[in-house]
Chain A
Amino acid sequence: MSTKTQPVSAWQPRAGAGFYVSAVILLVVLALGLYAYSRQLAEGEIVTGMRSIGTMGGATWGLYISFVVYFIGISFAGITIAALIRLLNLKTLAPLARAAELLTVISLILGALSIVIDLGQPLRGLKNLWLYARPASPFFYTFSLVIAGYLFASLVYLYLAGRADAAALATRGRGPVWLYRLWAAGYEGTAEERERHSRTLWWLALAIIPLLVLAHSTLGVVFGLQVGRPGWFSALQAPAFVILAGVSGIGMLVVIAAILRSVLRLQDRISLDQFKWLSNFLGFLLIAYLYLWGAEISTTAWVSRAEENELLRALISGEYAALFWVTVALLVIPFVILLLQFLTKRYSIPWIVTAGVMVNIAGMTKRYLLVVPSQTYGTLLPYAAGSYSPSWVEYLIILGLFALGILLYMLFVKVFPIVPIHETE
């Protein structure tokens, strides 16, 4: 029942000098991040740039929370692509399925780590978040739905979808055979087994979709329910989080696909077809997001509640203006690029990748603009406006997280075919 099959022998775990050089660089960055975290553990979060809101004139949520949102946002890609392939029978995207699923799993791990890093009492957190879990707190859903449910479902999906390949690799007897055996877990590839797998995956894909929407929405709700924070308190927060997650997630997938394609010389498997599809999808998500953002800003500007207005002023012409307009540009320019490609029907991978990179930078800056100004400029009693700039500890820890994510990705690519050998139907 598999459409395109490749001879199993065609797949080789590749590890040239490039692999080792980049692995060493990433390990160094990771070590720096760990060092920074050790400072934070020893001295407390005084080593970050965060301070209490109000008389201390700070922001109590900073870079870490911005990146919790960013990393969890990235996870949008995997499940969406998987669901599109299974449910809409979009075979074109099949070669990217595993790359996307892996992206989801790794970004969720990074998101979970960022949450723990942000806690003042991380060990207590790991215990109390389960022991005293309170479903009344929006934060509960970030943990239970996003980290536990969503991550678990994605892992199961990745596992099931990879079984056929693992079985084939195990018979070949090269590389980490024990891993392939474990993964395949007795899979033999009989017609009945394949049928069962594809049915299970279909249902799993269907079930993960509401989970995906809910997970990203609840993260939006963490902010959207806070009546005391201008700029956060909005019903649009939940849908906007889902869409922006899609923008940065698909953008990141485009970038990764292009890297895999050129580094692993997969030009024959990952072709312009996939990029075309992702390009149009990304363009659609982008304009949807710009629309939501525009609706939000125009409401604020029109209604003129004093505190909302002052926040808006700080954003468009005050302290945050530079970052704000860069973010706007990083969302509008990619949209124009993608739209032009769509209109002229001429697609170019470098341009699509450029758009992907831009929306990802916007994904980070926009989250920062959401999280921080509402604290420094969003107090409802007459405290002086605050300020926040991240410290080297925060920067190093975030870089370390990126290094960890890339390392995990590289390791996976080394031991397992990132483009499915069997595109199981």
Chain B
Amino acid sequence: MPKYGMTIDLERCMGCRACVEACKVENNTGQNMYWMYVFRIERGKYPDSFWFFMPRPCMHCDNAPCVKVCPVGARHKREDGLVLTDYERCIGCRYCEVACPYSVNYFNWKKPASNQYYTWKEENIYGSGKVALVTAGAVPPYRNPDHDKLYGISKKRLVSGGGHSKGVMEKCTFCVHRLEKGLLPACVANCPVKVFTFGDLSDPKSEVSRVAADRSAFRLLENAGTEPRVFYLHASEPDPLARLGLTEIRRTIR
């Protein structure tokens, strides 16, 4: 049984957000939901300042606070290291979300169908069939059929992809549906500058293990004791208060 893990090289990331886009398309997540998100972090004061970008998936913590607090065992840790949500069991208490120190959980506040980026119904005003022409016959909004399958050793859990039903919690799955097919997670596969490595952290000879052994490797919020499975390289941990300037910006653009 592999134990999956990821490394993220902050020196390479140029902030193109291909990973964010790949994740959204692959997992059909709704508006405002960023299972993969990229921070832009600024240090110093102009002109003595520099930026770097920090992608943030779910850390798939080994000692995951979200798993510990789930009252019904919907959020669970798998033997291969993945932390997943059983969408058929989740009752929508959102305890996992307040427990997660990294704020990576997204709740389905709306019916997923009405939370898409585009109201496809309106498009049909211009004549039915026109949309199908553009999308090569697929009926939008497109749904990845892999997400309706069940996963896990006993193939019993509905855990992959987003947009299943309102009132349940979602977050990054490390693309469980792709892993079980032998593919890499969508973000890893789509990064143009190979920021990520992904693989079996329990195998010391794997690429991900070798990269994670780098001297500069660190994990986010190490002293929260969560034992994340995502390692960052070539930068240092951002200060939570780096947000202070952002707060005002958010207020004005919202």
A is bound by B: yes
Task: Return chain B residues, CB-CB under 8 Å to A54.
Answer: 37, 102-105
Among A83-141, those with CB < 8 Å from B are 118-122, 124-125, 128-129, 131-134, 136-140
Residue contact B109 to A50, C-beta cutoff 8 Å: yes
Task: Return chain B residues, CB-CB under 8 Å to A53.
Answer: 97-98, 103, 105
Q: Which listed residue, B107, B167, B220, B247, touches A384 by the CB 8 Å rule? A: B247
Q: How far is the CB of B2 from chain A (nearest CB, A)?
A: 26
Closest Cβ neighbor of A376 among chain B residues: B247
Residue contact A227 to B225, C-beta cutoff 8 Å: yes
Q: How far is the CB of A71 from chain B (nearest CB, A)?
A: 17
Task: Say which one of A38-46, A162-170, A403-411 lies at the interface with B.
Answer: A38-46
Residue contact A44 to B108, C-beta cutoff 8 Å: yes
**B250, CB-defined interface residue at 8 Å:** yes
Q: Which listed residue, A120, A307, A381, touches B108 by the CB 8 Å rule? A: A120
Chain A interface SS verdict (over half) = loop
Q: Which listed residue, A55, A57, A222, A307, touches B37 by the CB 8 Å rule? A: A55
How many residues on chain B are close to A (CB under 8 Å)? 59
Task: Return chain B residues, CB-CB under 8 Å to A228.
Answer: 65, 99-102, 221, 224, 226
Residue contact B102 to A44, C-beta cutoff 8 Å: no
Cα distance A137–B95 in the bound complex, in angstroms? 10
Residue contact A382 to B238, C-beta cutoff 8 Å: yes
Residue of A44, A48, A56, A131 with most chain B CB atoms under a 10 A cut-off: A44
Closest Cβ neighbor of A138 among chain B residues: B69
Q: Which listed residue, B72, B100, B240, touches A132 by the CB 8 Å rule? A: B72
Residue contact B109 to A381, C-beta cutoff 8 Å: no
How many residues on chain A are close to B (CB under 8 Å)? 51
Chain B 199-242 interface mask (CB, 8 Å, partner A; 1/0): 00000000000000000000011001110000000000011111
Cα distance A139–B71 in the bound complex, in angstroms? 6
Q: Which listed residue, B56, B91, B226, B238, touches A125 by the CB 8 Å rule? A: B91
Q: How far is the CB of A375 from chain B (nearest CB, A)?
A: 6
Task: Return chain B residues, CB-CB under 8 Å to A45.
Answer: 92, 107, 109, 166-167
Task: Return chain B residues, CB-CB under 8 Å to A139.
Answer: 69, 71, 93, 95
**B70, CB-defined interface residue at 8 Å:** yes
Residue contact A134 to B246, C-beta cutoff 8 Å: no
Q: What is the number of contacts between chain A and chain B, taking CB atoms within 8 Å?
A: 183
Q: How far is the CB of B170 from chain A (nearest CB, A)?
A: 10
Residue contact B94 to A60, C-beta cutoff 8 Å: yes
Cα distance A104–B109 in the bound complex, in angstroms? 33
Q: Which listed residue, B91, B109, B225, B239, touches A129 by the CB 8 Å rule? A: B91
Closest Cβ neighbor of A137 among chain B residues: B71
Cα distance A421–B254 in the bound complex, in angstroms? 62
Task: Return chain B residues, CB-CB under 8 Å to A143.
Answer: 71
Residue contact B92 to A120, C-beta cutoff 8 Å: yes
Residue contact B72 to A134, C-beta cutoff 8 Å: yes
**A367, CB-defined interface residue at 8 Å:** no
Chain A 375-395 interface mask (CB, 8 Å, partner B; 1/0): 100011111110000000000
Cα distance A381–B243 in the bound complex, in angstroms? 8
Closest Cβ neighbor of B37 among chain A residues: A55
Q: How far is the CB of B214 from chain A (nearest CB, A)?
A: 22
11 A-B pairs with C-beta separation under 8 A: A45-B167, A48-B109, A52-B97, A53-B103, A120-B166, A134-B70, A137-B71, A143-B71, A380-B103, A384-B247, A384-B249
A residues with a Cβ closer than 8 A to B are: 43-46, 48, 50-57, 60-61, 118-122, 124-125, 128-129, 131-134, 136-140, 143, 222, 225-229, 306-307, 310, 375, 379-385
Q: Which 3 A-B pairs have the closest CB atoms?
A: A120-B92, A228-B101, A120-B167
